[in-house]
Amino acid sequence: MIEKFINDNLKKAKFKKLADGTYFGQISGRPGVWANAKSLIACRQELAEVLEDWLLVKVQSREKIPGFNLRIGSRVCA
């Protein structure tokens, strides 16, 4: 469930190469989820890690997350 959410969101990520040669990536609609790294591959990996951390903080604080429903037993925590 978490892996699918991350992979689906990474498909929407936008990356650009900066003037200093590093890469910057972000996901629209996920405030605070961004990454910067020396290579595109490293930037994508860092972005995935940031998104996972962001998701866990949102779940812990019981915030609604568009596109993600947490199921505990038969109960849905949206």
Average pLDDT estimate for 33-45 = 98
Which domains are seen in the chain, by residue range?
2-77 (3.30.160.250)
Q: Give the per-residue pLDDT at 73.
A: 56
CA-wise closest residue to 48 among 17, 14, 6: 6
- Cα–Cα distance for residue pair 44/42, rounded to 1 Å: 5
pTM over 0.95: no
Is pLDDT larger for residue 10 or for residue 63?
10
CA-wise closest residue to 58 among 31, 35, 27, 28: 31
pLDDT (tens digit per residue) in 6-27? 999 999 999 999 999 999 999 9
